[in-house]
Amino acid sequence: MMAYLDAWLDLKTVVWLFPVVFMFHDLEEIITVEGWGRRNRHKLNRLLSARLATNFEKILNMTTAQFAVAVTVILVFVSSSTFLAANEGSYLFFVTCITVAFLHVFTHAGQSLLLGAYTPGVVTAVTIVLPYSAYVYHRLFDSGLIGWQTVGLCVLLSLLAVPVVITALAAGRHMVPSGSGDRCTGKETGLVN
């Protein structure tokens, strides 16, 4: 299978697929996060320590629109890293972002195992992000563009994603005020009576 993909897709195409993979994954999260958070808030509060529960409360209270703004902020980083890799041959930022995506798969899987249930993003994390990121590593290693030292550095640099995500979530909450008027209930579209 890898040999077939290697022959069919050039490296530039593989790199440019990153924003597409990111959006498929984050669309699953955007669509499900608000309702899931409402339904599972009490279960999470029982499972998590008081400090962790307080930190997650802000995410659980986010509306779909607020979360979409946060995803858009992160998409800027994903797209920038992709552009630099595909057009400039600069792979460090790209591999760092791929490493964040790869490690993020395991947070989704861990959350689902901890809760014993579906969590937003777990389906596309396991079925799309994991195989894509593994394939990107394969192609970059095979092309001689990265080695284990680069991956190790990118694992360390991936810690910088934490403040980026926190800032993106804060931007979503700041740019889209919360309140009863911004939640999509289906009534606005006529889908629900």
| pLDDT per residue as tens digits for the range 89-111 | 999 999 999 999 999 999 999 98
Q: Is 15 helix (H, G, I), strand (E, B) or coil?
A: helix
pLDDT above 60 (res 180): no
pLDDT of residue 30: 93
> How buried is residue 129: exposed, middle or buried, by Cβ count under 10 Å (0-12/13-18/19+)?
buried
pLDDT above 50 (res 133): yes
Residue 159 carries which side chain, given as an amino acid letter? L
pLDDT of residue 115: 84
Q: How far apart (Å, rounded) are the C-alpha atoms in residues 120 and 30?
A: 8
In sequence order, what E strands does 17-158 have? Answer: none
pTM of the entire predicted model: 0.84
CA angle, 139 then 151 then 1, to 5°: 25
pLDDT of residue 142: 95
Residue closest to 160 by CA, chosen among 171, 148, 168 = 168
pLDDT above 70 (res 184): no
CB 150 within 8 A of CB 95: yes
Taking 3-state DSSP, the helix, strand and coil percentages for the chain, each rounded to the nearest 5, stand at 80, 0, 20
